Structure 1
Amino acid sequence: MEKVIVLEEGADLDALSCAYGVQLLYPDSKLLRPKQLSKKAGEVFRDFKDFFRIIEELPPEFDLILVDTSNYKEYLEKLKGRVRSVIVYDHHPTKLECCEGKVEQVGSATTLVVEELMSRNVDITAESATLLSFGIYEDTGFLSYEGTTSRDARAIAWLLEKGANLRLIRKYLLDTWSKEQIDTLSKHLHSMESLFLNGKRVLIVVLKSEDYQPDVLNILYELREVKSADALFVIVSAGYKTYVFGRSIKGEFDVESVLERLGGGGHSFASAVKLEGVDAERVKSVLTSLLEGKNPPLRVKDVMTSPPFVLHQDTPVSNALLELSQRNFAGAPVVDDSGKLVGIVYKKNLLKVAKHYPYGRVKDFMVVDFHQLSPEDFIWKAEEILSHYGEKLIPVVENSNLVGVITRLDLLYSIREQTAEIKAHEKVIKLPTHVEETAKQVGTIAQELGFRAYLVGGVVRDILLKKEVWDIDFVIEGDAIKVAQRLAEKHGVDYHPFEEFRTAHIKVNGLKLEFATTRRETYPHPGAYPLVEYAGLKEDLLRRDFTINAMAVCVNPDCFGTLIDYFGGLRDLKDKLIRVLHPLSFVEDPVRILRALRFAGRLGFKLSKSTEKLLINAVSAGLIAKAPKGRLMNELRLALREERIFEILELYKKYGVLEHVLVGIRWSPQLEKKLLSLRDVIAWHRIEFPKEKIDYGWVYLLVLLEESEKGMDFLVDISAPAWVRETYEDIKKNKKELTKKLLSAQKNSEIYLLLKNKPLPFLLILMTEEDIKEKVRVYLEKLRSVKVDLEKFKGLSGRQLGKAIEEEKMKLMDAL
């Protein structure tokens, strides 16, 4: 059986050296070409790649060899059925249940392999000794780090006897740092936070990058601030993954005992864990809670509903509906006579069949293909399932017994609890002059009433982007309606309260102001209108869609102009990224899928890697179809009003969203060509006729619907303006025939007669047809504006005058 060595993503020199040693131990083993290595490991691999036996793809069946990691369960799950046995060489203590190899606590995984070579009396070359020395020297800091053992020193002594080249070792291992690495680190150092725990000083740093740069950590470890601390935890957000590294600086703080709570492993002096789909700020909040001795919900058993409500498989549909409705449950696990879990039934499915099969049995309509969890699973595994598959609930099973269920609401509450420790990044910013005076008045009124007032959301984003703002949103920790009422009285204007939502609208000094009371929102099912409860500022911000829209500016006199950023919105704004606040964001409200693409298109931003993955999962799970049509159509209308509508449509296409919104539309090369042509036509029209105001977004939509048989139904559904519906009807009835006539038209007067009185949107769409584009352009630029000298027609009136003017126009046109 072929043996294959697989390295973890971002593997360091110790892992690479260990992999090479394994190839010396197992002559039939091969290394799967690593996708990503640390900077130093990458340099060594580049220069020594001829020493490795490399394959590009995994064979159908093989023995798996892991080095510098014992995370074999993850591989067994991913490669189910292909891995015959597992061999592990790792220096992080762990329990191996099914593996061969060697796992012992030493300073370097390579040491374990070298010991095997020594015991077998394997003769190695000086080059091999050098390549093995790299890993031991790196992971032990040239035998100086805590955790270094005498075994590491003996391994090095043997390698030196075999001719290890110290000059080459210095060349590759002595640190040289690039400007890019230093810039990356300096950009995030503001996040460094100190905790004082039982006389120990512990540092926490968050580094965010779309691409993981392991070598940045080496710079961090050299900082004076770090060297004087007792322990350091570094949280690295890289795309969809978050890494947490713990290091005991003085050897007196057990970092492993902390990170093992998150599923990590290692030594008491050096430990690490990799998480997927969990935001770095949230991890920091959880880590802070753990360090302070608190118990944040981490496992499924901490948040599941137990005992679960269940339905028997023979329950009649009508009875099951009644039971679910009385409890306001969307679904329930289904069990047989022995209490064994056999399926899940959803209220939505039962409602569809209740009329025709009221006495049918639950087992006939239940879902039998579902995921399940163990009480010991981490809650982010549940989040991954819900965000990827859009399921409403997941059964929790222990020893084949159903012990609980976990729902979206359970997870949203846990996310809220886990983010409780997040602290805001604060800095003072300058508000635009036309906003500043009104904001100060709002802040003063709020303070007099004992409230806190904040500018929030899109207005903060646009102020930071130096955009002009006239629609201003305030949130009030207190009573928004009272603040709006006082401001309206001060200016002698009306205000419009909405008691049900505790909001109010008012116009002051040319600004449209909206006041809202801070609140939290929960969604009963995907896309539903939210249930509203009172909450503080942080929770109000947590309910928002993206980090760049979840910032606030305090306007109370005691903190006026202070930017409050809990979730890294300012950094994402600078990095031009759209990032959701938590992994269930698109599941909670699928309309955010379209909003994410609208903001990305409008601002020229990218989706963060984690947000992109979540969005793709949500689209694949069909969540858009579960959103209320009215809210989807409203979002589409907003997109159609954007100046960069073409860029937004391109993103709709890229992520396969368009087909879910415009049912029956198929993106084709011909459609794309026509949209590109329309973009050029619109750019031309903006320049040539700046006074002709037209909502170009509707013109794009008309092109998208041109080949659809249900286009008019769609336009009625979204309450499109009358001119849009009329233009669509004109296109469907007359475009083909008109195009043929224009092709054969020889004179300008013929073109004029064919196109006069046609609506401008129709004409712009005609210009996307290359064969007639020039003729329509001539009409718009010249023919429609031809004037005649009325002095020639004195004495004529009525029809005679009209006919004479038209005939004269024709002559003038044909003479052009």
Structure 2
Amino acid sequence: MVHSCKEIVVLNEGADLDALSAALAVQKLYPGSCLLTPRYLSKRAGEVFRDYRHLFHTTDELPERFVLILTDTRYFPESIPKETVEKVIVYDHHPTGDVENYEGKVDRVGAATTLVVEDLMERGVELTPEEATVIALGIYEDTGNFTYEGTTERDLKAASWLLYKGADLKIIRRYMLESFTKEQIDIVRRILSSIEKIYLDGREIAIATAVLEKYEPDINALLYEVKDLKEADAFFVIIEAEGKTYVFGRSQTEDIDAGNILSYFSGGGHPEAGATKLENVSASRIKNMLVNYLKGIKSQKLRVGDIMSSPPFLLSDHLSVKDALLELSERGFANAPVIDRDGNLIGIISKKSLLKLSRLYPEEPIEEFVNKDFTTLSPDSPVWEAEEVLTKFGQKLIPVVEEGVVVGVVTRLDILHRMKEDLGEVKALHKRVKIPGNIESISKEVGEIAQGLGYKAYIVGGVVRDILLGKEVWDLDFVVEGDAIELAERLASRYKVKTHPFPEFGTAHLKVGTLKLEFATARRETYSRPGAYPKVERASLKEDLVRRDFTINAMAISVNPESFGTLIDYFGGVRDLKDKIIRVLHPVSFIEDPVRILRALRFAGRLGFKCSKSTERLLKQAVNLGLLEEAPTGRIMNEIRLALREDRILEILSLYRKFKVLEHIIKGFNWTQNLEDKLVSLKKVTDWHSLEFPSERIDYGWVFLMVILSTIKPDVSMKFLQDVSAPSWVRESMESLYTTLNIIKGNLQKAERNSEIYKLLKGVHLSLLLILMSCREVQDKVKLFLERLRFVKVPPEAVREMKERGLEGRELGEEIEKLKERLMDEEKSFIMERP
């Protein structure tokens, strides 16, 4: 219902019951006021608003000028234009906020509703029992039924007055004692299993974390009743879901100010309770920073100003393209902010753009060519805001601006180094696992040799994943905290086998029996640009695992004698394996190395997993930013080759289609439903062929690729096959696919005799036969050829008779073929038998 109002009550998005109840009380204080219809409320507040909406005067539109009323907050709503507000009235029990000039009340009580009720009592405002009930709900919720430490006698007096006015305790109890779903209880179980306790100055603080696919906004109500949290002096719960991280805390002692602590993380509240919501920052990082903060080790790199490069290198807009390129090249910079003569930031220019422009406009000023579509941050912006800009919008450099002046810049490498520092304090999950018998003995030997050298060694990566999945393992990857090549050479000498060292990468390969072993020195990697080959330095196991792609590939198993078989999992890989999730380790993972886009889809297709929502979002952003085009062709093609070897190639190709990756890799390619249908039909054919003729198996992935490439121009497809190092039979068959396959197909449709089918298909490569068989029009004829006609043989006695007649060489061969064709046609043909 729309009313013409001069006072408008506006609730925060996701407002709770205290805010809603206070809004109704405010409307009794200001009878002409309206509540701006809330778009989103907490679950409990939403239910109350749905049931009692008739008590509220609401509006869907804002007048040109009005008085703004805020309840349970003192932060100015982002959605409200400030110039339309004449004054602000606030009723809030939180000590922080950005509204400085206001009327109303801000005071420390258990519920904001209490402050409004006190004014109702003072003015003698009458309430109906229904109104009193809804207003009382806010006080009951925010004081935890008068059990939370922030509860005051004023809250009890306000509730007493509302009960005097007819508030119905039965209705209040119904809303307060809400039931919980099986899913919510399961979430609580997962959160409880993560609880860790720290002790500071005799105070117990509990911290729990969880990574969920979907956030349950009302889960905290159930958590408040959990004994391990309830009995702690303070507790904090950190939940990561759908690309956001939610943190809320409760304090039950005057020594710990929950609201002040969470204000450090861009949140707020009051001493008894606080909350914050962050984007693009993991729960594990926030937990680490929170623990450090509580211990007095405040992070020195939480704000953009802590990680930016300052003073920044700036280019003047009047510089010529040629001179600007020279300036960037001499300093080794890929991008730089551009300022005008007054020092105002006007845009960003890249070395890549200048290289192109230098051929056409070398003397033109760069002001004509700067990129003006960019985001800036202030030194006080949280680091994760920079992460979001670099991942979501694809900027490669962020100017940091303070009072209109560029004071620094932030790049992707700055962000990556910062995240690795945060992860450095993450604790790993440790548990014993059974190492398969075929690799147990050699794993123990590696551990013993490492110990003798003073090193530590671990099985790492996909091998660990496969061990946990119960798969056979024949390729072993070891990471060594020490010299991996030296360890590999010691092992090789025991078995008298050769070592293949690669000193520039600190790696070595060798083969022992049927096992392939690779040793790598624990290392950190940095990338000069997306997809580039990395620069390598020695590091710890932890840092080595941080650089990996997905949580399920970032686990290790110790082979050191004192901890043999201990699984080390810093990032929740075990959990994601159980939940069948592909999850990147950090937000810039795909930007750091776009080839991971294809790897994510290959693993998802191979294992039947799905990408987490945040990973899927980051993957889409990276594809849309065109990062696949920036990656080295060789690495992209290598990943394509690996995908083509997978048994579940069709599932991988379906994911390629979903995320539109081939469109960025193959020039002129577009998915169509017709192509999808062809690939599905081809999969049925290759499955049949692999079962019927296992000795003839070929790499079917190449056949799928041939069908995909058949939709684009021949010169482009042949170039692609060359780039991907396709086998010669693939390139030759591809040429035939373009030139003769349709002719063969047309003639095959007309063929009536078995001998005609045989003559058309003999000598055709198996890959083309499989593609033909996937065409419904000729499927039965190709199947007849593959199953029977190609195996028809001339009886030995007939061959002897020909030889006795003096036939030999080519003449003999031709006679044998003629007889073979007559024998095929003497039987009732398969075609003739069809109804």
Distance in 2, Cα, partners of 1:44 & 1:721: 68
Q: CA deviation at 1:568?
A: 1.3
**Correspondence 1:383 to 2:387:** yes
Aligned to 1:738: 744
Secondary structure in structure 1 of the residue aligned to 2:528:
coil
Aligned to 1:780: 786
Contact kept in structure 2, 1:185 and 1:207, CA below 8 Å: no
Distance in 2, Cα, partners of 1:487 & 1:80: 72
Q: CA deviation at 1:525?
A: 0.9
Contact kept in structure 2, 1:504 and 1:515, CA below 8 Å: yes
Aligned to 2:768: 762
Aligned to 1:800: 815
Distance in 1, Cα, partners of 2:33 & 2:733: 74
Correspondence for 2:166 among 163, 166, 185: 163
Q: CA deviation at 1:184?
A: 2.5
User: Is 58-67 or 469-478 further displaced after alignment?
Assistant: 58-67
Aligned to 1:568: 572
Contact kept in structure 2, 1:526 and 1:590, CA below 8 Å: yes
Q: CA deviation at 1:732?
A: 1.0
Q: CA deviation at 1:447?
A: 1.0
Secondary structure in structure 2 of the residue aligned to 1:374:
coil
Task: List aligned pairs for 1:56-205, cutoff 5 A.
Answer: 68-69=72-73, 72=76, 75=79, 90-97=92-99, 103-115=106-118, 118=121, 123-174=126-177, 176-205=179-208
Instruction: Give the AA of the match of 2:13.
Output: E
Secondary structure in structure 2 of the residue aligned to 1:354:
helix
User: Is 196-205 or 235-244 further displaced after alignment?
Assistant: 196-205
Structure 1 residues 122 and 625, CA gap change in structure 2 (3 angstroms): farther
Distance in 2, Cα, partners of 1:58 & 1:658: 46
Aligned to 1:327: 331
Task: List aligned pairs for 1:256-275, cutoff 5 A.
Answer: 256-275=259-278
Structure 1 residues 764 and 121, CA gap change in structure 2 (3 angstroms): farther
Distance in 1, Cα, partners of 2:86 & 2:283: 36
Correspondence for 1:8 among 9, 13, 26: 13
Correspondence for 2:680 among 676, 680, 691: 676
Distance in 2, Cα, partners of 1:61 & 1:442: 76
Contact kept in structure 2, 1:23 and 1:30, CA below 8 Å: no
Correspondence for 1:729 among 693, 717, 735: 735
User: Is 400-409 or 338-347 further displaced after alignment?
Assistant: 338-347
Contact kept in structure 1, 2:488 and 2:499, CA below 8 Å: yes
Distance in 2, Cα, partners of 1:81 & 1:555: 67
Instruction: Give the AA of the match of 2:225.
Output: E
**Correspondence 1:480 to 2:484:** yes
Contact kept in structure 2, 1:31 and 1:52, CA below 8 Å: no
**Correspondence 1:278 to 2:284:** no
User: Is 709-718 or 476-485 further displaced after alignment?
Assistant: 709-718
Contact kept in structure 2, 1:289 and 1:421, CA below 8 Å: no
Instruction: Give the AA of the match of 1:757.
Output: G
Task: List aligned pairs for 1:627-638, cutoff 5 A.
Answer: 627-638=631-642
Q: CA deviation at 1:51?
A: 5.8
Correspondence for 2:316 among 307, 312, 317: 312
Task: Give the count of matched residue pairs.
Answer: 810
Contact kept in structure 1, 2:71 and 2:112, CA below 8 Å: yes
Q: CA deviation at 1:92?
A: 2.4
Structure 1 residues 33 and 343, CA gap change in structure 2 (3 angstroms): closer
Secondary structure in structure 1 of the residue aligned to 2:696:
coil
**Correspondence 1:421 to 2:437:** no
Instruction: Give the AA of the match of 1:221.
Output: Y
Structure 1 residues 228 and 506, CA gap change in structure 2 (3 angstroms): same
Aligned to 1:206: 209
The alignment's TM-score, normalised by the length of structure 2, stands at: 0.91
Distance in 1, Cα, partners of 2:666 & 2:479: 35
Q: CA deviation at 1:330?
A: 0.8
Contact kept in structure 1, 2:475 and 2:517, CA below 8 Å: yes
Contact kept in structure 1, 2:507 and 2:520, CA below 8 Å: yes
Cα deviation code 1:463-521 (max 9, x no counterpart): 11111111111101111111111111111111111111111111124211111111111
Secondary structure in structure 2 of the residue aligned to 1:355:
helix
Structure 1 residues 780 and 69, CA gap change in structure 2 (3 angstroms): farther
User: Is 734-743 or 428-437 further displaced after alignment?
Assistant: 734-743
Contact kept in structure 1, 2:755 and 2:821, CA below 8 Å: no
Q: CA deviation at 1:243?
A: 0.8
Q: CA deviation at 1:715?
A: 1.1
Contact kept in structure 1, 2:244 and 2:281, CA below 8 Å: yes
Q: CA deviation at 1:652?
A: 1.6
Secondary structure in structure 2 of the residue aligned to 1:262:
coil
Distance in 1, Cα, partners of 2:462 & 2:556: 9
Distance in 2, Cα, partners of 1:468 & 1:101: 71
Instruction: Give the AA of the match of 1:397.
Output: V
Correspondence for 2:660 among 645, 656, 665: 656
Q: CA deviation at 1:752?
A: 2.5
Distance in 2, Cα, partners of 1:87 & 1:636: 62
Q: CA deviation at 1:286?
A: 1.2
Q: CA deviation at 1:362?
A: 2.6
Distance in 2, Cα, partners of 1:347 & 1:82: 45
Secondary structure in structure 2 of the residue aligned to 1:322:
helix
Q: CA deviation at 1:138?
A: 1.6
Correspondence for 1:812 among 827, 830, 835: 827
Instruction: Give the AA of the match of 1:503.
Output: T
Structure 1 residues 784 and 91, CA gap change in structure 2 (3 angstroms): farther
Structure 1 residues 379 and 809, CA gap change in structure 2 (3 angstroms): same
Correspondence for 2:704 among 681, 700, 720: 700
Q: Which ranges in structure 1 are unaligned for 5 or more consecutive residues? A: none
Aligned to 1:371: 375
Distance in 2, Cα, partners of 1:508 & 1:552: 21
Distance in 2, Cα, partners of 1:258 & 1:712: 61
Q: CA deviation at 1:727?
A: 1.6
Aligned to 1:249: 252
Distance in 2, Cα, partners of 1:664 & 1:84: 58
Distance in 1, Cα, partners of 2:628 & 2:243: 22
Cα deviation code 1:159-186 (max 9, x no counterpart): 2123222122222322645544333233
Secondary structure in structure 2 of the residue aligned to 1:708:
coil
Distance in 2, Cα, partners of 1:198 & 1:369: 51
Distance in 1, Cα, partners of 2:72 & 2:569: 38
User: Is 195-204 or 519-528 further displaced after alignment?
Assistant: 195-204
Distance in 1, Cα, partners of 2:138 & 2:423: 38
Question: What RMSD, in angstroms, separates the aligned Cα atoms of the two structures?
Answer: 2.8
Secondary structure in structure 1 of the residue aligned to 2:450:
helix
Distance in 2, Cα, partners of 1:536 & 1:178: 44
User: Is 628-637 or 347-356 further displaced after alignment?
Assistant: 347-356
Secondary structure in structure 1 of the residue aligned to 2:520:
strand
Distance in 1, Cα, partners of 2:791 & 2:101: 85
Q: Identity, % of aligned pairs?
A: 54
Q: CA deviation at 1:419?
A: 2.0
User: Is 120-129 or 633-642 further displaced after alignment?
Assistant: 120-129
Structure 1 residues 85 and 329, CA gap change in structure 2 (3 angstroms): farther
Structure 1 residues 61 and 407, CA gap change in structure 2 (3 angstroms): farther
Q: CA deviation at 1:208?
A: 1.8
Instruction: Give the AA of the match of 1:726.
Output: E
Aligned to 2:494: 490
Distance in 2, Cα, partners of 1:657 & 1:345: 28
Aligned to 1:552: 556
Correspondence for 1:31 among 20, 37, 44: 37
Contact kept in structure 1, 2:549 and 2:589, CA below 8 Å: yes
Instruction: Give the AA of the match of 1:722.
Output: S
Structure 1 residues 147 and 724, CA gap change in structure 2 (3 angstroms): same
